[in-house]
Amino acid sequence: MADTLAIFGGTPAVDVSKVVNWPPIDEIDEKMVLDALHQPNQARGVHNMALEKEFCQWNGNDYALFTNSGTAALHMCLVGCGVGAGDHVLVTAYTWSSSATCILHHDAIPIFVDIDPETFLMDPDKIEAAITPRTKAIIVVQLHGLCNDMDKINAIAKKHNLKVIEDACQAHGAMYKGRKAGTLGDCAAFSFNQNKCLCCGEGGMFVTNNEEIYKGAAKLWSFGEVARPEENRDYHAYALGWMYRNNEITAAYARAQLSKYDFYFNTLRENGEYLLKNLAGTPYLLLPYEPEWATHNWYNFNLRIDFAKLGISEPAAQEKFRDAVAACLRDEGLRASVWQRFILPDMTVFKAKNAYGGGYPWSIPGADEGVDYSLEKFPNALEYSRKHISVVQTLRAPNGLDIAEQAVQGIKKVFNSLDTLDPDKVFEVLEARKNK
């Protein structure tokens, strides 16, 4: 039974009773949250401002604003960079939806760029061909916790007078040539959502070293006002603004988690490196790639199925097989998932070009000229969307190399069986469970 897959009755490789849930909570979190609970100001007070200062010190930024989400922080980046109605913004074809819907939030138009097949990030060599006369900025998504080739991207941006916005929502602590994500462009957004390597349930952080970008973002963040809530406000809306602020209890929780993040990061690094080393040579498995200039934070450790070696070429068959493999990995005790099944140009909100009704914002005169979301333009993104499986949270602190070793055994166990795996039998088991 040792080699029998758990989904077919074998013993799971990972002892899930030993895997600590994410995020780990201790007395530091409890003390900070209770302190916030008893503060006289629950909206924006000492913990909000302390968090912004501490995050700047930790990450190396001059300005920060604590927000209610990473999506809000991305919207703030666009406004701070002066992006407006009908402008074009480049973004990767494969990412979370809000990396591009944030562009729509301020009536601008996303222009998608295909990914590099090894890094899964926007291919820098395809950027210049995507630039239009209306292009104002590039959103560089540091996806899965890996930084893109920022020297190359910044050089292109400088040549074409474009702003560079980092979507660092998954990239806390990730580095490019020794510099942290969030310091590599004009401004950046981080997420503190439940799934992130640094989390407080829900929240985000806008950061920049540019005072003018900061002031523009701050207006959007709080009702279009020019003063922050802790300052002398005249309650006058000077621009179109949202309410993207966050509260004291959440800020205190984030401060507690930030104080422990270096331990979290180092643990992830050790576990990720262990998997890279010990999974090398596993049949039908394509491992993630870490360029020499990058330091991954392993937010997602992505496994890819080598369909060429398996002889599976039809897209629907690949997706079905991949979903069966993911189910097998979960039964072995790994937190494995298909992180994003659709590339962004295939999502209805973009494909229909009708975000707000009446075809808006694409119906802005001249804004849709040259905008083409045909899926054949993004072959690498499409292929990746069918072959990847993300291992999340299993590798996170305080889970150490003992859990990483079990994860290796579970992954090997499943991938060693791929040449005989029948996905229909996997789905029969899953269906029988549902009907019990």
Select which of 136, 163, 196, 387 is catalytic. 196
Domains and CATH numbers, the chain: 6-20+261-340+383-434 (3.90.1150.10), 27-259 (3.40.640.10)
What is the phi/psi pair of residue 303, to 5°? -100, 140
CB < 8 Å & 24+ apart, contacts of 217-220: 217/65, 217/76, 217/77, 217/79, 217/80, 217/187, 218/65, 218/76, 219/79, 220/75, 220/76, 220/79, 220/80, 220/244
Q: What is the pLDDT along the chain (436 residues), one digit of tens a residue?
A: 458 999 999 999 999 999 999 999 999 999 999 999 999 999 999 999 999 999 999 999 999 999 999 999 999 999 999 999 999 999 999 999 999 999 999 999 999 999 999 999 999 999 999 999 999 999 999 999 999 999 999 999 999 999 999 999 999 999 999 999 999 999 999 999 999 999 999 999 999 999 999 999 999 999 999 998 988 899 999 999 999 999 999 999 999 999 999 999 999 999 999 999 999 999 999 999 999 999 999 999 999 999 999 999 999 999 999 999 999 999 999 999 998 999 999 999 999 999 999 999 999 999 999 899 999 999 999 999 999 999 988 999 999 999 999 999 999 999 999 999 999 999 999 999 988 7
Determine the Cα angle at 206 with ends 200 and 211, to 5°.
Answer: 150
Residue 253 CB partners (closer than 8 Å, separation 6+)? 29, 32, 33, 36, 200, 201
- Residue 413 annotated among the catalytic residues of the structure: no
